[in-house]
Structure 1
């Protein structure tokens, strides 16, 4: 045992005296120490980190919106957070469009002669309205204000609207385009009767430069409606589809008056039925010499009865066609509508 112990001590002494072994051991200790220190620092960093609290989703109720004062909303409109600014702007617009006095004030503003004042009020009206609140403008006062604004925006030096290859709508004044935008959106949801009552045709449409002579006005207006595709043509199409709108367009010389309804009578309708079937009857027939049960007399009586019923049917057909053509739309072949005959 003593000898083995001495040998082991001698072997260890030789290893200690070997520089390579010493440096290798020091390297292992250094790497282990660095790894341990790194893990300790990571653990300390994770424990010392302050994690932000996740914000909870909160919804603003109608009661909260109504409780906000104007001064508070004014402050929120300048907030650095974009979502807060957008929410505040939406609340302001909702309050404005639901306040009748505010809407009336803006409608009064778009009828002023000062161009800048009209533009400010038009832009404000466009900001506060949306498809859900468009019904606030579906009243005669709003249509009259829009027509008045269009009337004030008329260009006295407008060129003749006779170019079928170029649409001038994009170059029109912004006040005109904003008013036409409101009118087009309203007509997409409602009937045009209130717009016609506000004299849109007489006060603005008819005052466009359609030409110097009545013939030029008819021709240029017809070509404009045929070749252009903008809000003006959409509005006119809606107006033209009503009786009052058609009358206004005819009265201002933009559409020709409707002519008489063409007849569909067949020339053969004027020929007595008995003459059409004369080939079936003998020549020089004398009804007084025929018996009551004679086949010829019976045929003539049946033809006369059929002729009377045929004449009544033709008169009824013509009368029905005239009733259906009430002048509410442009005259064409589809206007004469006949009721299909029931089989006998």
Structure 2
């Protein structure tokens, strides 16, 4: 009998053919997967390049639409995590890139109708931003301005300005999360305000001076305005010594019509320079004396507008 019949040879050939066919199909499938992944990356690159070109278009609608798409992608998932990681970094190169990107996302006019600020104003973002601002404290060394002011330090680094702009845009969206991240407890309480470094120190007058000298540092003044308009913000400002007590503030209001104190800036330099601020009188005497001063300033002015106001037009509450 022959070792292999005709049917046996046929089945053997079919088995061998099937084996190599399966291996070939598997190899081809792996190649298809690899090719698909490469095409996917290339497609992503094409999309990004297209969006970048559209963002530079002279057509306003195309430019605005492409910028919105880019901003949406920048505020999600791993892209956003990397952006915030670079923002908090002490390495100046990635930090600068992150500051430029976030400053663009929060201030570009084409994105004003989007909800970028609302969506990224959370604890994660504020923590990275406070870390960034805290890193800048170490760079307050060289003078960058000659402005004499009780609230604006002469040593503000250039990068800090962008960080302040970002904070100014995000803070109104979520003050509680910013406070939890340490905007006051980790950063502002350590900030080198000239009035806080002066002798005698006017650290507790920072909030008042921000209102009086706001034009010297508009962005920082706006940040303080937002914080001092929030109940928890007021508590922390007082806790960390940047805002006076209720009694001191009432006494300040009572004495607003008195002569102003003289604030001397850079007294250690030759000549120095002077500015005028509202007086900052601390409570003197008993509680009764303070109440008496307040009552003296409670008055009503009646005038028909046809002549200058005189003492006869002022009706003051009787003093017991």
TM-score (norm 2): 0.50
- Following superposition, the deviation at residue 91 of structure 1 comes to 6.5
Q: Deviations over 1:227-262 (max 9, x none)?
A: 123111111111112222112111221112223999
Q: Deviations over 1:178-222 (max 9, x none)?
A: 22212211234x241111111111222121222166743224653
Gap runs ≥5 in structure 1: 1-67, 263-331, 334-344
Q: Does 1:225 align with 2:199?
A: no
Specify the SS of the correspondent of 2:223: helix
Q: Is the 8 A contact 1:201 1:248 kept in 2?
A: yes
CA distance in 2, matches of 1:86, 1:105: 25
Q: Note closer, same or farther for the CA distance 1:213–1:77 as it changes in structure 2 (3 Å cut).
A: same
Partner of 1:246: 234
Partner of 1:178: 162
The number of residue pairs the alignment matches comes to 196
Q: Is the 8 A contact 2:87 2:129 kept in 1?
A: yes
**1:71 equivalent among 38, 45, 65:** 45
Whose Rg is larger? 1
Q: Deviations over 1:31-83 (max 9, x none)?
A: xxxxxxxxxxxxxxxxxxxxxxxxxxxxxxxxxxxxx9322235536869953
**1:216 equivalent among 196, 199, 202:** 202
Partner of 2:94: 117
Q: Note closer, same or farther for the CA distance 1:88–1:197 as it changes in structure 2 (3 Å cut).
A: closer
Q: Is the 8 A contact 1:150 1:175 kept in 2?
A: no
- Following superposition, the deviation at residue 150 of structure 1 comes to 0.4
Partner of 2:285: none
**1:203 equivalent among 167, 178, 186:** 186
Partner of 1:90: 67
Q: Does 1:142 align with 2:119?
A: no
Q: Is the 8 A contact 1:96 1:128 kept in 2?
A: no
The residue correspondences of 1:1-344 to structure 2 (distance < 5 A) are: 69-76=43-50, 83=57, 86=63, 90=67, 93-129=70-106, 130-131=111-112, 132=114, 133-154=116-137, 155-157=139-141, 168=152, 172-188=156-172, 190-209=173-192, 210-211=196-197, 215-219=201-205, 222-229=208-215, 230-259=218-247
Specify the SS of the correspondent of 2:94: helix
Q: Note closer, same or farther for the CA distance 1:198–1:74 as it changes in structure 2 (3 Å cut).
A: closer
Q: Note closer, same or farther for the CA distance 1:243–1:116 as it changes in structure 2 (3 Å cut).
A: same
Q: Note closer, same or farther for the CA distance 1:220–1:240 as it changes in structure 2 (3 Å cut).
A: closer
CA distance in 2, matches of 1:140, 1:246: 19
Q: Is the 8 A contact 1:150 1:179 kept in 2?
A: yes
- Following superposition, the deviation at residue 174 of structure 1 comes to 3.4
RMSD of the alignment, in Å?
4.1
Gap runs ≥5 in structure 2: 1-41, 251-293, 296-320
Specify the SS of the correspondent of 1:204: helix
Q: Is the 8 A contact 1:73 1:88 kept in 2?
A: no
CA distance in 2, matches of 1:194, 1:78: 33
CA distance in 1, matches of 2:203, 2:52: 53
- Following superposition, the deviation at residue 172 of structure 1 comes to 3.2
- Following superposition, the deviation at residue 115 of structure 1 comes to 1.6
